[in-house]
Amino acid sequence: MQHYLNYVDGQWRDASRQLEVINPATDKVFATVARASVEDADAAMAAARRCVSSGALTDVRPAKRTAWMLKAAEAIREIAEEGALILCRENGKNVDTAREEFDEAARYFEYYAGMADKVEGISVPLGKDYIDFTSYIPMGVSVQIVPWNFPVSICARSLAPALAAGNAVVIKSPEVSPLGMVLLIKAIEKAGFPQGAVNLLCGKGSEVGTHLVKHQDTNQIVFTGSVPTGQRILKDAAERATPSVMELGGKSAAIAFADVDLEQLLRSVKVGIFYNSGQVCSAMSRLLVHRSRYEEVKAAVVNLAESLTVGIGESNAELTPVVSKDQQQQILAMIDKAREEGANVLTGGKAADLEGYFVLPTIIEAKDDMSIAQEEVFGPVMVIMPFDNEDQAVAIANGTDFGLVAGVFGENLNQTLRVANRLIAGQVFINEWFAGGIETPFGGVGLSGFGREKGQEAIYSYVQTRNIGIRLKHGV
Amino acid at the residue 218: T
For CA atoms 377, 452, 175, 357, the dihedral sign is positive
The residue from 100, 247, 375, 453 that is catalytic is: 247
The answer to whether residues 119 and 259 belong to one domain is no
Q: Which residue(s) pair with 123 in the sheet?
A: 133
Q: Exposed, middle or buried: residue 138 (CB in 10 Å: 0-12, 13-18, 19+)?
A: buried
Distance CA 268, CA 262 (A): 10
The answer to whether residues 291 and 169 belong to one domain is no
132-186 pLDDT tens trace: 999 999 999 999 999 999 999 999 999 999 999 999 999 999 999 999 999 999 9
The CATH number given to whatever domain includes residue 312 is 3.40.309.10
Distance CA 441, CA 462 (A): 14
**Can 340 be counted among the known catalytic residues?**
no
3-state secondary structure the chain: CEEECEEECCEEECCCCEEEEEECCCCEEEEEEECCCHHHHHHHHHHHHHHHHHCCCCCCCHHHHHHHHHHHHHHHHHCHHHHHHHHHHHHCCCHHHHHHHHHHHHHHHHHHHCCCCCCCCCEECCCCCEEEEEEEEECCEEEEECCCCCHHHHHHHHHHHHHHCCCEEEEEECCCCCHHHHHHHHHHHCCCCCCCCEEEEECCHHHHHHHHHHCCCCCEEEEECCHHHHHHHHHHHHCCCCCEEEECCCCEEEEECCCCCHHHHHHHHHHHHHHHHHCCCCCEEEEEEEHHHHHHHHHHHHHHHHHCCECCHHHCCCECCCCCHHHHHHHHHHHHHHHHCCCEEEECCCCCCCCCCCCCCEEEECCCCCHHHCCCCCCCEEEEEEECCHHHHHHHHCCCCCCCEEEEECCCHHHHHHHHCCCCCCEEEECCCCCCCCCCCECCCHHHEECCECHHHHHHHHEEEEEEEEECCCCC
Distance CA 13, CA 202 (A): 11
CA-based nearest residue to 138, from 21, 43, 195, 59 = 59
The answer to whether residues 13 and 161 belong to one domain is yes
Distance CA 147, CA 130 (A): 48
The CATH number given to whatever domain includes residue 20 is 3.40.605.10
Residue 422 sits in which domain range? 253-430
Are the CB atoms for 105 and 76 separated by under 8 Å?
yes
Distance CA 423, CA 323 (A): 31
The answer to whether residues 105 and 158 belong to one domain is yes
Q: Is residue 436 part of a domain?
A: no
- Give me the number of domains the chain comprises: 2
Structure confidence at residue 475 (pLDDT):
78
Half-sphere exposure of 160 (CA within 13 A, CB side): 33
The answer to whether residues 81 and 195 belong to one domain is yes
Q: Is residue 381 part of a domain?
A: yes
Distance CA 224, CA 156 (A): 12
Q: Is residue 442 part of a domain?
A: no
The answer to whether residues 244 and 266 belong to one domain is no
Tell me the average confidence (pLDDT) per consecutive run of 10 residues in the chain, 476 residues long.
Answer: 97 97 97 98 98 98 98 98 97 96 98 98 97 98 98 98 98 97 98 98 96 98 96 96 96 98 98 98 98 98 98 96 98 98 98 96 98 98 98 98 98 98 98 97 96 97 98 87
The answer to whether residues 14 and 162 belong to one domain is yes
Q: Is residue 217 part of a domain?
A: yes
Give the list of residues 6+ apart from residue 333 with CB closer than 8 angstroms, or none: none
Structure confidence at residue 289 (pLDDT):
98
The answer to whether residues 283 and 335 belong to one domain is yes
Q: Is residue 334 part of a domain?
A: yes
387-400 pLDDT tens trace: 999 999 999 999 99
The answer to whether residues 93 and 172 belong to one domain is yes
CA-based nearest residue to 171, from 214, 208, 139 = 208
The answer to whether residues 333 and 365 belong to one domain is yes
pTM for the full predicted model: 0.97
C-beta pairs of 99-103 under 8 Å, 24+ apart in sequence: 100/153, 101/150, 101/151, 101/152, 101/153, 101/180, 102/76, 102/77, 102/152, 102/180, 102/184, 103/77
Q: Is residue 179 part of a domain?
A: yes
Q: Is residue 325 part of a domain?
A: yes
The answer to whether residues 243 and 257 belong to one domain is no
